[in-house]
Amino acid sequence: MAENLQKVLFVNSEIFPYLPESPISDIGRYLPQGIQERKKEIRSFMPRFGCINERKNQLHEVIRLSGINIVVGEVDRPLVIKVASISSARLQVYFIDNEDYFRRKAVYTDADGNFFSDNDERAIFFAKGVLETVKKLRWAPDIIHCQGWISHLVPAYLKLAYKDDPIFAGSKVVLSLYNDSEGLSFAPDFAKKALTGSISPSDLPISNSPDGIKLAETAVKYSDGIILGSPDIDPSLVKYCKRCKLPILQYNEESYRDGSYIDGYNDLYDKL
């Protein structure tokens, strides 16, 4: 019977309690639980940022899933997969880890507030790491829900580099947009490093301007449904979503307060 359940993969930038409470981390925590309670099978991923206390949160490495190398630009880096459980919600969370990218004791900026210069490479590694791990799990998701800018390469990789992989043959992408993309600036060669498989520079909007908005547009371009998760998303990004003629779930503050947003998200999954 379980094989007939719709499968939803959550690709999160933040999940509470592993990172402090925020609109994104709260949804990362409570949405998968709510979707699981609505009789769907779920898997949830996030980066293993160095500020996450492994002992307190009982993270442990999954040896059978670790050990492959992820290519970023022209450099191979080892992928380490860790897992932890939120026992009160019967949720398991997979963590994408690599010593070079995710061991520093900060999330996206240094002690002076400077955006890490390799955040583009971290996004590439995270996106590839998630998809390669799902392949190893042999778990074919019906819906892949991406939240937070560090997940924004997943839709492009799925629809271009992994389009012929049977694990992802029936996958639809839902993208939640927040106000976390404005003001981000990436290395000029971001798009070049992000290329993989048959992807060409023209496939990625970040080729012309590697900033947060262009990265979000790259995610929108290859998504099947959009959720506006913040009230103050950049107007140009909202216009781009409308031009792409995708189903859009509008921001509804009351639904986040009373938890009814989960039903709205669930309905969107069912319609795609």
Alpha-carbon span 119 to 183, nearest angstrom: 14
User: pLDDT of 58-91, one tens digit each?
Assistant: 999 999 999 899 999 889 999 999 999 998 888 9
- The pLDDT value given to residue 130: 98
Global confidence as pTM: 0.96
Query: Looking at the predicted structure, is the pLDDT value of residue 176 above 60?
Result: yes
DSSP letter string, 49-92: -TTS-HHHHT-EE-TTT---EEEETTEEEE-EEEEEEEGGGTEE
CA separation (Å) from 34 to 59, 85, 152? 23, 16, 23
| Mean pLDDT, residues 37-42 | 96
- The pLDDT value given to residue 109: 95
Alpha-carbon span 16 to 41, nearest angstrom: 20
Model confidence at 3, in pLDDT bands (50, 70, 90)? low
Q: Average model confidence (pLDDT) for the chain?
A: 95
